[in-house]
Amino acid sequence: MRFKRPGVRYAQSPQPVTPYQAAGQVWDERIGSARVQARNWRWMAFGCLGLALLMGGGLLWRASRATVTPYVVEVDASGQIRAVGEAATPYRPTDAQIAHHLARFITLVRSLSIDPVVVRQNWLDAYDYTTDRGAASLNGYARVNDPFSRVGKESVTVQINSVVRATEQSFNVRWTEQRFVNGAAAGMERWTASVTVVLQTPRPSTTRPPVAVC
């Protein structure tokens, strides 16, 4: 005796016959749709999580390879920017920049104000332009030519005429000094000096210039 297996179609649900079957089919479809949506949202959440991890790893890798590039900004006397460029390593100032600092140094040392406070500040600023050896030489010069002994009696103005490179480490400076006594001109002198310079790297905590007088 043979039993025939009833055929069941899985591709399509049978049409409901009773209201109970219709309600059950609607409920099954609703539950199935919710499950499909939940699965899709889970996959989307996993995808977003993976993308976030990938982006976070990329940012960390980029941050670990970040480099800082210093730039040199050249400004004029009025504070306007003249030139901007990536700082070379090591940075070497131009002859014009060195000449500016040397002219400033000569003016600080050789000029004489009638105000002792100004004279003192000028000399303190002048020491910022010297090495230890240059500071010792400046001390010896101040002992022989004490500027404070002349304060209130006379004044001296300095006019820089030229600053020209002489050798690899020295410059020739020419300037004119105008001397005044009691507000009246008392004479004019022309001076020449040979100044030896060295380049030094300024520390971040100091405002000392990169050019030092030996």
Which CATH number is 202's domain given? 3.10.450.230
Question: CA-CA distance, 94 to 104, in Å (whole number)?
Answer: 16
Q: Is residue 112 part of a domain?
A: yes
Backbone angles phi, psi at 81, to 5 degrees: -75, 125
Q: Please check whether residue 85 lies inside any domain of the structure.
A: no
Whether residue 209 lies inside any domain: the answer is yes
Domain extent at residue 109:
96-213
On whether residue 103 sits in a domain, the answer given is: yes
Is 159 part of any domain? yes
The first and second tokens of residue 95, run together, are 């002859």
DSSP structure string for 97-144: HHHHHHHHHHHHHH-B-S-HHHHHHHHHHHHTTB-HHHHHHHHHHHHH
Residue 124 lies in a domain: yes
160: in domain: yes
CA distance linking residue 93 with residue 199, whole number of Å: 9
Tokens of 128: 């910022």
How far is the C-alpha of 172 from the C-alpha of 192, rounded, in Å? 7
Q: What are 192-212's pLDDT values in tens digits?
A: 999 999 887 666 555 566 566
Q: Is residue 186 part of a domain?
A: yes
Can you list the residues of the chain whose pLDDT is less than 70? 1-18, 20-34, 36, 66, 87-91, 201-214
CA nearest neighbour of 193 among 172, 212, 211: 172
**The pLDDT of residue 10:** 47
With CA atoms as reference, report the closest residue to 197 among 165, 160, 170, 167: 170
- Total domains in the chain come to 1
**pTM (2 d.p.):** 0.59
